Structure formats: structure tokens, C-alpha cells
């Protein structure tokens, strides 16, 4: 079948080349954005007197019918079409006749596809932000339900200092809150209209790009037509934001995988979000968390792939830029499904408070509090640090812990030790006395929960 761009060439191409060139297999998902943009374009052409109001009404009515038929399944997108833009225009012309051919006045597929991608990413940013809010809500609720549960905090995956579980898990909520902010900021640069840039140099028609942009909900227009059709930095930035979301999801997933192991037993994943083994009947595997961790790599790959595609392109549009879509679509789909799974996975997760508390008693995590105790008695911190380390070394040799080391043994290292040392190093006080802003005290957790209320 001859192409709508036939003229300079015959419009006939080798069947293998035709298949190689076609993007309908993946850009078909842009049908709604493409039709919405075309309706706004027809309205602008009419407003400017470039086409008659009657023709515009006929075009818009025809496009509305195509959209409705695609969505109700009565119109199937032809896989043999070159792309979604040509498919919609061909169906429109079949239905309303030559008037349909007027739609493409004062635009090019170059600015049309840039428009469609911006509309798609704007919708995706809003949807992903909504999913992030749902995840933050589950984390916030889980923290509120276990507000005073003590667990080990780690550095280098070694026991470091005792913290509240609520404080620990809320750290991830803070990361996801920044992800929402990042998407919101990215959306500002997405929400700029390229339509009217045409192929690269603008058009001789007296168009009103601002009218068309406003009709589509854009904040402004691209001020340089070459830039409007030839850059995909907004896609790269969006993929960067998605990569950070996946990084945070992956780190959270890693914690849950570790915590659900027998060595930790801090949490138990719901059967709804676990699987068994084909050979070992005792196994309960955190496969959903592992998949979230694993899928992070493919989103990173989508980002690097697009950066590599764009790095050597001269202005303006090049067919290489067709390669922007599959990576963007894949990353969006991946992030959405991971967020959709993670929210209920957190909600149904059981927290083993006793196991966390027992683990917190190990590893001399109150050694810093012993040093702080001595500082409050008048010692410089470095001297107090050395004494505290010496006491820990003695405990390790004698098989004791700081909490049950006799006072006379404390006094072998410093005469400043008194009965109140045991109060200073109790796990509960180690946590509650961390009153600095953002610390692990219950008061700080309350403020964090309150702050995150703006994100749910």
C-alpha cells in the first residue's frame, strides 16, 4: 500500500524495510494522546481561519468517533500501518473524505510525535506520583503501628546504634517523597508544547501555538522550533527520575529480603507476596521483593539506552529518535507494576517486634551512649570514646554485655562511672534521648509522620 508521504518517492518500499521502519507495534499506545492533540490542532486551524469551522467540526467529530471506537474495541489498530499518526489520519480520511487530509496542515510528524510523548509522560508522571503516594501511606501506617519498636541500626551492615523501626522505615518514605517532588519538577519541563514547530523551521501559516498549547493544558511553548522537534531531554530526565525511584525500591526490597531471612526474622512477608520452592517444601521466598530489586536494572538500561541513542544526533529530527519510545514505555510499565506490588506488600508484612528487640541487645550498640555518659561527666569526647571502646573489648573477653557489667568493673576503666550508667545505656533511653531534629526519638518520628501527611 502506498504511503501518505508518497510524492518524491513512489511510496513503495521493500517489505522487510517497511517492517523495520514501522513503529505501530509500540507507538499504538499513544493513540489517545495523538487524537487529543489532533483535535486541538483542528480547533486552532479553524480559529486562525486556515480551515473552515465546518471542516474543523467534521474533523473533530471524526476523531472523537475514532477514539471511541478504539477504546470500545470496534476499531482495531492496523499492525501494517507505519505509525499511529498515519493510522489515525488514514481512518479519518476514510470516514470523512478529503476533509480529513486538511488536518495535517501546519504540522509535521516530527512535532506531532514530540507532542504525543510529552502528553504521555505528563500523564505517566501523574500516575506514578499517585502510586508513590499510596506506597508512602502504607509505610507511614506501618510506622505508626510500630512506633516504639526498637531494632538495630546498621552501618556497613554491622550493628551500629539502636533505632526505632518506625524511624528506619520512614527513611524510605522520605526518599519516595523526594521522588514525588522530583517528578513534579520534571513535569514542568515536560509540560512545554512543541506543536507548531513543524518539521524543524516552523510554518508559513499564521498559527496560534499558544492557543493550541493552552487547549492541551501546557504551561508554555518551545521557543525554538529546532529544539522543539529534536531533543528528548525531557524523556531522559523522566527516565532519570524513574531510575531513582527504582533505586529506592531496590534498596527497600533488599532490606525486606534480608529481614525476612531466618538469620534476621525481623519481618514475615505475607503468603500473598511470597512463593515456595519446587523441591524444598519448607521454603518461603520473598520473590516479589527480589523482582523489584531485579527490575531496577532494566530501568537503568532504558535510561542508558536513550542517552546513547541521542548522544551523536545532529539537528533536527532523525529516525534514530524513534528509539525513544520502547525504553520509555518499558520503564513506565516497570515502575508502575513495582509500585503497585510494593504498597500491599508493605501493608500485609508482619513485623516481629520481639526479634528486633533481641537483635538490638547484641553488638554493643549502646557503646556510643556510654561515651556520651562520660562526656556528660566532664570527659572530652575522644577520651570518653577510648574508655568506652576499652570497656567493650573487656566485655568481649569476659563474655558480658554493657547492661550487666558490674559497676566495679566499670570503675576499673573510669572512676566517673556510677549507678546511673545503667540508665544511660538502656536501649529505651538510647533511643528516646536522641532528641536532635530528625533523630530516632519518638517525638521525631511523630514529626516525620506529620510531615509525610502532605504526601498521602
Catalytic residues: 156, 277
Between CA 346 and CA 355, with CA 350 as vertex, the angle to 5 degrees is 125
Long-range contacts of 201-209 (CB under 8 A, 24+ apart): 201/225, 201/226, 203/106, 203/107, 205/48, 205/50, 205/105, 205/106, 206/48, 206/50, 207/44, 207/45, 207/48, 207/50, 207/106, 208/44, 208/47, 208/48
From residue 133, give the alpha-carbon distance in Å to each of 113, 176, 285.
Answer: 30, 8, 27
- Cβ atoms of 139 and 339 within 8 Å: the answer is no
The three three-digit cell numbers of residue 414, written as one number: 573510669
The three three-digit cell numbers of residue 367, written as one number: 557503646
Torsion from C-alpha of 145, 147, 152, 154, nearest 10 degrees: 90
Amino acid at each position: 500500500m502506498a504511503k501518505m508521504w508518497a510524492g518524491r518517492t513512489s511510496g513503495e518500499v521493500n517489505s522487510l524495510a517497511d517492517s523495520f521502519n514501522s513503529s505501530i507495534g509500540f507507538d499504538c499506545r499513544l493513540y489517545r494522546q495523538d487524537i487529543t492533540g489532533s483535535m486541538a490542532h483542528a480547533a486552532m486551524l479553524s480559529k486562525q481561519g486556515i480551515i473552515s469551522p465546518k471542516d474543523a467540526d467534521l474533523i473533530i467529530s471524526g476523531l472523537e468517533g475514532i477514539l471511541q471506537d478504539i477504546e470500545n474495541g470496534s476499531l482495531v489498530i492496523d499492525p501494517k500501518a507505519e505509525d499511529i499518526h498515519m493510522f489515525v489520519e488514514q481512518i479519518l480520511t476514510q470516514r470523512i473524505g478529503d476533509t480529513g487530509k486538511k488536518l495535517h496542515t501546519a504540522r509535521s510528524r516530527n512535532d506531532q510525535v514530540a507532542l504525543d510523548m510529552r502528553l504521555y509522560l505528563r500523564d505517566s508522571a501523574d500516575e506514578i506520583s499517585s502510586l508513590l503516594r499510596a506506597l508512602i501511606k502504607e509505610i507511614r501506617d506501618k510506622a505508626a503501628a510500630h512506633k516504639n519498636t526498637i531494632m538495630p541500626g546498621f552501618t556497613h551492615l554491622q550493628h551500629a546504634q539502636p533505632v526505632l523501626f518506625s524511624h528506619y522505615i520512614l527513611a524510605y518514605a522520605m526518599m519516595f517523597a523526594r521522588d514525588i517532588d522530583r517528578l513534579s519538577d520534571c513535569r514542568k519541563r515536560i509540560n512545554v508544547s512543541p506543536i507548531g514547530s513543524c518539521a524543524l523551521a516552523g510554518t508559513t501559516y499564521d498559527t496560534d501555538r499558544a492557543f493550541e498549547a493552552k487547549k492541551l493544558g501546557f504551561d508554555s511553548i518551545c521557543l525554538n522550533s529546532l529544539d522543539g522537534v529534536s531533543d528528548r531531554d525531557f524523556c531522559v530526565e523522566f527516565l532519570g527520575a524513574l531510575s531513582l525511584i527504582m533505586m529506592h525500591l531496590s534498596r527497600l526490597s533488599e532490606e525486606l529480603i534480608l529481614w525476612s531471612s531466618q538469620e534476621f526474622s525481623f519481618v514475615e512477608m505475607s503468603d500473598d507476596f511470597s512463593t515456595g520452592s519446587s523441591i524444598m517444601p519448607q521454603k518461603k521466598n520473598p520473590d516479589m521483593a527480589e523482582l523489584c530489586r531485579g527490575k531496577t536494572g532494566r530501568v537503568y538500561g532504558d535510561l542508558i539506552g536513550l542517552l546513547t541513542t541521542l548522544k551523536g544526533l545532529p539537528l533536527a529530527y532523525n529516525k534514530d529518535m524513534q528509539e525513544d519510545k520502547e525504553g520509555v514505555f518499558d520503564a513506565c510499565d516497570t515502575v508502575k507494576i513495582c509500585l503497585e506490588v510494593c504498597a500491599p506488600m508493605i501493608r500485609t508484612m508482619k513485623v516481629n517486634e520481639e526479634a528486633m528487640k533481641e537483635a538490638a541487645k547484641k553488638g554493643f550498640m549502646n557503646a556510643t551512649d556510654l561515651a556520651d555518659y562520660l562526656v556528660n561527666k566532664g570527659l572530652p569526647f575522644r577520651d570518653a570514646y577510648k574508655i568506652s571502646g576499652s570497656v567493650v573489648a573487656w566485655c568481649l573477653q569476659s563474655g558480658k554485655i554493657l547492661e550487666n557489667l558490674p559497676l566495679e568493673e566499670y570503675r576499673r576503666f573510669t572512676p566517673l562511672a556510677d549507678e546511673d550508667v545503667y540508665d544511660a545505656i538502656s536501649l529505651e533511653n538510647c533511643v528516646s534521648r536522641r532528641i536532635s531534629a530528625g533523630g530516632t526519638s519518638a517525638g521525631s518520628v511523630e514529626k516525620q509522620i506529620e510531615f509525610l501527611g502532605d504526601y498521602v
